[in-house]
Structure formats: structure tokens, C-alpha cells
A and B are shown apart, each in its own frame.
Chain A
Amino acid sequence: MNERLDALLSARRDGVLETSERAELERLLATHAAARDRAAAFERVDEALRSLAAQPVADARLARNLARLEERSGSESSSGTASPVVGRGRVLDIRDRDRDRYGYGMAAAAVGVAAVWIGMLVLAPTGVQMETEMVIGEPPDAAREAISTEDLAGLGIDQVGDLEVIEELELLEFLAARERSEEGPRG
């Protein structure tokens, strides 16, 4: 079945057929059984997707996520920027949360830089310092810079904002992993 028919059928389903296209499609549908079958198949796809989206989500799961959202938004705060969540007495202060995250990030970067200097001082006379530096001493930012522009384009990362959020998420993952390791395994 040709691409043109698919485009027309799809446009019809979304109500964006132009007058001339509508006439073209009606002619195809009137004269080709295969076109009618294709139209029915398109309809079934939409129904299947709606059915998929309509699968119920357990109330308990939503409630658990709401509770987790409140936890993540921070404990009760008296700061002026706080934004309470759903009136349960807890408040959000996302600016503080972000400050904490960046605080951890800066600390991690400082540790990385210190490791480079210590590594250089301790291992300078030996023949293994280059490899050691590359593996241990490279701070996270330098590692990121090693990714080429082409790599980033290939990943679809084309905005500074994306990188900032990725950095933020990486830090979140690190903090979550640390939290998990501190809490021990769960059932």
C-alpha cells in the first residue's frame, strides 16, 4: 500500500484533511478494497492505543507516588519560597533542593580535582602515572568534555538545558544509589 494512502488515512483520522485530499481519499476508498482494509486497520491501531492508555493505574500506586513526591519535595520548611503540596502539612522548597544537589556536585568535583593532584604528586616518578591519571584522576567534567560534539548530536543532545538536566539527573541517581546502599536491600 502506498505512502500517499497512509498519509491521507492518517490525516483523516486526525481531522486535518484538506478538501482536495478528502476527494482523493474518497475516490481511493470507493475503488480499492485494499484501501478500505487499510483504513479499518488504522482505526484499530488508534483503538488499541487508546486501550493501552486507558489501562488502570492502581490507586495505591498513585498514592505511593504522591507520598514520595512529598518526601522528595522536602520536609516542612518555614522558608518564604516554600510551596505546600496538597495541604497535608508538608511543603516544597525546590530551590533548596537544587542548591543541595549542586552542593553535592561541587563537593564531588573538588574531590576529583584533589585526587588528580594527589595522584600526580604520589605517582609522578613512576611509569604508571599516565594510566592512573586517566582512570582515577580525571574529574567528571573533563570526562564529559571527552564526548565529541558529534556524539552529542547523535544522542540528540543539542541544548545546554538538556545537559544541565542530565547532569542533575546523574547526581540524583548517585544520591539515590548512596541512599539505597545506606538503607540496605529491601524486599
Chain B
Amino acid sequence: MQPSDPDVRLMLAYRGGDEAALAELYRRWAARLLRYLERIVREPAVAEELLQDTFLRVLDARERYVPEARFSTWLYHIARNLACNELARARLRHPHVSSDANERCEDGRPSLVLVAGGPRPDVDADGRRERDRFARAFATLPERQQSALWLAVVEGHSYEEIAGVLGTSVQSVKNRVHRARATLVDRMQEPAAIAVEKIR
């Protein structure tokens, strides 16, 4: 139990009947979770459905919630499982697409949907191109590498926490994070045309 985690406190308050606590949890986490889900499933509409599904699970767990880890670890665990099921379902629909049995939840779809936001006037074109290129490179990583790196870098989760989310060992997390970073560095150092070719 980690009472120092403000999100755990909110969830406990919600369990105790404070409805506003749930609204606050949604406000704190919906955007970040949506961004994560978009990166994993690559389709904004599907990501939104999964976001709703994730919070439905949180609501469903209200009565029996027992804080055993950071709230965000639990939340990402739910979201990732739902996203993985969505990817597996997509793969069942497209069985011709090859998959790597060692990479659970790896999405092998050949085409990529760029889900970066629309153009923003405050971001120059070069910056946008680079960001989109990075997004494409990130999208080529196996799901477990994506999730491990996201949780380490964006959420600052420990390897132990990430191992809990991914259902794997700490050493495996360490390897995946390092491979993800190395792959992204290599992809970003390649000329853009070559990188696009590899992605295809």
C-alpha cells in the first residue's frame, strides 16, 4: 500500500463514496492514457474505446479496490491488457500477418496509422516532421518495448513496476527498454527515406 500516492488516495476516497474523486482521477489520467493507447493500437477511435473500457474497469473495481501498488501501475496494467486483447483480436482478423511468438501482444500490422495530432501553428514544420518521424519509428517497435519504454520514460516507473504491468521479469524489462532506445536511436539517425522504407 502506498498512501503517499495521491492517486491511491483518490481511489480510496472514491471507494469510500467520494464521487468527485473519480472525476479527478479521470482528469489526471485520461489524456496521458489516451496518448499511450493511441501509440499501442494506432487508431484514435479504438484508443478512445479502450480508454472508456479502462475506466469502466476502474469503476467496476470500486468496491474491492485494495492498493497494492501505485495507482498508475494498476491503471496501465488494465489499459495494456485491454489494448493487447484488441491487438490479438485484430490479428485474428488478419491471420496472414506474421507474428513473433516471443513478443506477446506485438502488433505486426504492416501499415501504420500516424496518430500524432494535427498541425499546430506554434510548432515549426521541421519540428513537426521530426516528431512525426519519431512517432513512426516508435510505432515499429514491438508492443512490449513500446510499453516498457513509455512507462520508464514518460511515467518514471521502476523496472519492478513495469515488470508487474507487463507480466515479465525485471531483467526482461531492462533488456526491452535498452533495445527500444537503441532501435529508436538507429532509426532516427538514418536518412528519412531509408527509415520510411524500413517501416514499410
Interface residues of A in 77-116 (CB under 8 A from B): 83-87, 92, 94-95
Partner of B135, one of A3, A42, A52, A57: A52
How far is A159 from B152 in the complex, measured between Cα atoms in Å?
A: 26
Partner of B181, one of A10, A94, A157: A10
**Interface of chain B, main secondary structure:** helix
Question: Which chain A residues lie closer than 8 Å to B85 at the CB level?
Answer: 162, 165-166, 169
A83 adjacent to B59 (CB under 8 Å) = yes
B135 adjacent to A169 (CB under 8 Å) = no
A55 adjacent to B188 (CB under 8 Å) = no
Question: Which chain A residues lie closer than 8 Å to B52 at the CB level?
Answer: 65, 68-69, 72
How far is A72 from B177 in the complex, measured between Cα atoms in Å?
A: 36
Q: Mark A101-144, 1 if CB is under 8 A from B, else 0.
A: 00000000000000000000000000000000000000000000
Given known contacts A7-B178, A69-B56, A83-B62, is B138 in contact with A156 (CB within 8 Å)?
no
How many B residues, CB 8 Å from partner? 60
How many A residues, CB 8 Å from partner? 54
Is B30 part of the contact surface with A, judged by Cβ < 8 Å? yes
Q: Mark B23-42, 1 if CB is under 8 A from A, else 0.
A: 10010001110111001000
Partner of A156, one of B56, B101, B178: B101
CB proximity of B139 to chain A, nearest CB, Å: 11
Is B197 part of the contact surface with A, judged by Cβ < 8 Å? no
Is B13 part of the contact surface with A, judged by Cβ < 8 Å? no
How far is A73 from B53 in the complex, measured between Cα atoms in Å?
A: 10
Given known contacts A57-B31, A156-B105, A169-B89, is B116 in contact with A46 (CB within 8 Å)?
no
A sample of 13 more A-B contacts (CB under 8 A), given A7-B175, A61-B34, is A10-B177, A13-B153, A41-B189, A46-B181, A48-B188, A56-B31, A62-B34, A65-B52, A72-B56, A95-B60, A154-B99, A155-B88, A156-B101
Chain B residues proximal to chain A, CB less than 8 Å: 19-20, 22-23, 26, 30-32, 34-36, 39, 48, 51-52, 55-56, 59-60, 62, 81-82, 84-86, 88-89, 91-92, 95, 99, 101, 103-106, 116-117, 130-131, 134-135, 138, 149-150, 152-154, 159, 174-175, 177-179, 181-182, 184-185, 188-189
Chain A residues proximal to chain B, CB less than 8 Å: 3, 6-7, 9-11, 13-14, 16, 38, 41-42, 44-46, 48-53, 55-57, 61-62, 65-66, 68-69, 72-73, 83-87, 92, 94-95, 147, 151, 153-158, 162, 165-166, 169-170, 173
